């Protein structure tokens, strides 16, 4: 069974940093690209960042470019999101998701970890 | 960046109704279009990918169509468990943008 479990969320002050982790199991992790998607409470889904199977290709939403960094450790079946210079508008539930197949839909999602940026 | 626009933003319908949600891309995305269902407190669920391919385990009352810039999600006969928010997403280019969502409510 495919499982994705996020961790690392919490409360942080504006300008602070946080590192999210996503532990993957139930599939061959280094066969798949991965993404981070967030949802601001009461708002819609926002794609944040994505990475191919070996980390050689990454992409970011304009809203986080230059502040967030996606990475992975295939030996540990883990995905990460380093978040720096955090802003109040980064407050959200952050999900990791697997990119499946040729058309790269997000076919499995974790439950998410909550990040709150507040002074 | 490619903008994805869904309509309507919200919709009231009854069990048994046929419902259609539309999604328009600001430029052609070929067939790189997926639909997701999201219920409060749960992880989003992939329903359809590549415009019209049904994800494994998804009931056949869900279907998708379209190409280029205009796409639709149809639920042929609404069931109580279908009341949720639905999102389209393009995977043609980065950033992989979502539509703003369509909230489907019980009438």
Q: B45 vs A104: CB contact, 8 Å cut-off?
A: no
pLDDT value for A6: 98
Q: What is the mean pLDDT of each run of 10 residues along chain A (119 residues)?
A: 98 98 97 97 95 94 98 98 98 97 93 97
How far is A101 from chain B, CA to nearest CA, in Å? 9
Angstrom CA distances, B27 to A4, A63, B7, stand at 32, 21, 17
Q: B42 vs A44: CB contact, 8 Å cut-off?
A: no
Is the backbone peptide bond immediately before B95 cis, with ω within 30 degrees of 0? Answer: yes
Chain A / chain B CB contacts < 8 angstroms: 73
User: Which string of b and e fits A63-76 if b means at least 16 CB within 10 Å?
Assistant: ebeeebbbebeeee
Q: A95 vs B44: CB contact, 8 Å cut-off?
A: yes
Q: A104 vs B42: CB contact, 8 Å cut-off?
A: no
- B89: nearest CA partner in chain A: A105
pLDDT < 50: residue spans in chain B: none
What φ, ψ does residue A18 adopt, rounded to 5°? -155, 145
């Amino acid at each position: 069974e495919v499982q994705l479990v996020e961790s690392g969320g919490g409360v942080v002050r504006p300008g602070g940093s946080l590192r999210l982790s996503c532990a993957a199991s139930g599939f061959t992790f280094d066969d798949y690209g991965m993404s981070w998607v967030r949802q601001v409470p009461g708002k819609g889904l926002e794609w944040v960042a994505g990475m191919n199977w070996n980390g050689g290709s990454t992409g970011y939403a304009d809203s986080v470019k230059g502040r967030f960094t996606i990475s992975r450790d295939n030996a540990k079946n883990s995905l990460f999101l380093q978040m720096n210079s955090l802003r109040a508008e980064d407050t959200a539930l952050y999900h990791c998701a697997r990119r499946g197949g040729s058309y790269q839909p997000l076919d499995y999602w974790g439950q998410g970890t909550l990040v709150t940026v507040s002074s | 960046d490619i903008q994805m626009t869904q309509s309507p933003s919200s919709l009231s319908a009854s069990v048994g109704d046929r419902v259609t949600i539309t999604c328009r891309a600001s430029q052609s995305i070929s067939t790189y279009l997926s639909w997701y269902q999201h219920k409060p407190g749960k992880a989003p669920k992939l329903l359809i990918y590549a415009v019209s391919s049904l994800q494994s385990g998804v009931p056949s009352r869900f279907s998708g169509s379209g190409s280029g810039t205009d796409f639709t999600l149809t639920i042929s006969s609404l069931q109580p468990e279908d009341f949720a928010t639905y999102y389209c997403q393009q995977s043609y280019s980065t950033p992989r943008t979502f539509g703003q969502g369509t909230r489907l409510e019980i009438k």
